[in-house]
Amino acid sequence: MAAKLLEVQGLRVAYDKIEAVTGVDLAVGQGQIVTVIGPNGAGKTTLLSAIMGVLPSSGRIVFDGKPREHAEIEEMVAAGMNLVPEKRELFSEMTVEDNLMLGAFDRYRRGLRDHDGTLAEVYELFPRLRERRGQLSGTLSGGERQMLAVGRALMAKPKLLMLDEPSLGLAPRIVREVFHIVARLRDMGVSILLIEQNARAALQVADYAYVLETGAVTLEGPAAQVAQDPRVVEVYLGLGHGAAAQAPA
């Protein structure tokens, strides 16, 4: 694997007495797309929230060469981690461009004034956002909202972009578009941790994959290899699963 940008060892997260993540080891190499697939309730969102410092956890987290356990979210953002949550969490009463500019706020606060250049890059990646820059984000379509959420995260110039189910609720054509963007981001040097229920699309775009089930990793390997595992084929890629309809071209 390429040099590790993120390394997680023995990560445990509990809600009261119930452990939702029960000792997970995971790594993301520089410039890689790593995916975590798994069913509803497996602990995928919990895992991301703990890595980001939103939820307390135990275990070891090393990001960009430094141990980060017990780090708060602000420290992780400043260190170059950014999370696009499943619910997107945009400010619906604000325009597309104002939402994007908010993504650059932390850099601005730290005296970095490169937001105009970053905004131009985001608009190049998402021409549709440029067209709709003055539109209230609450009136965007589902796919446009997802693009805006990713664009806003990119305004922070993250080293690691974490995406929680970016395909959720989107039409197959839009899912393809979002995954093409994810691949382009990797080509631009952004490392990506991608959480997905759409295993077929995720395994096609990723370099490496983990299967998370009831809080534990049950299988991992290069994504192409995981995609051929008989159990993955049966449980996650089988025609009966519905994911087939969402396969990217």
Nearer to ligand ATP, 148 or 211 (CB): 211
Cβ-based neighbours of 203, under 8 Å, separated by 6 or more: 35, 37, 209, 223, 224, 226, 227, 232, 237
Q: Report 14-53 residues binding ligand ATP (CB under 6 A).
A: 15, 20, 38, 40-46
Interface of this chain with ligand ATP, residues 182 to 221, rule: CB under 6 A: 197
Under rule CB under 6 A, residue 222 binds ligand ATP? no
Count CB atoms within 10 A of the CB of residue 187. Answer: 8
Select 76 or 129, whichever has its Cβ closest to ligand ATP.
76
| Cβ distance to ligand ATP smaller for residue 165 or 177 | 165
Q: Which of residues 72-101 bind ligand ATP (CB under 6 A)?
A: none
CB of 43 to ligand ATP, least distance (A): 4
Nearer to ligand ATP, 50 or 96 (CB): 50
Total site size for ligand ATP, rule CB under 6 A: 11
CB of 72 to ligand ATP, least distance (A): 18
Contact of 179 with 203, CB cutoff 8 Å: no
Spatial strand order in the sheet of 81-84: 81-84, 160-164, 191-196, 33-37, 208-213, 216-222
| Residue 61, both tokens | 């987290």
Strand-by-strand arrangement of the 18-29 sheet: 18-29, 4-15, 58-63, 66-67
CB-nearer residue toward ligand ATP: 28 or 37:
37
Half-sphere exposure of 149 (CA within 13 A, CB side): 26
Q: How far is the CB of 37 from ligand ATP (least distance, A)?
A: 10
CA–CA separation, 192 and 161 (whole Å): 5
Residues near ligand ATP (CB under 6 A): 15, 20, 38, 40-46, 197
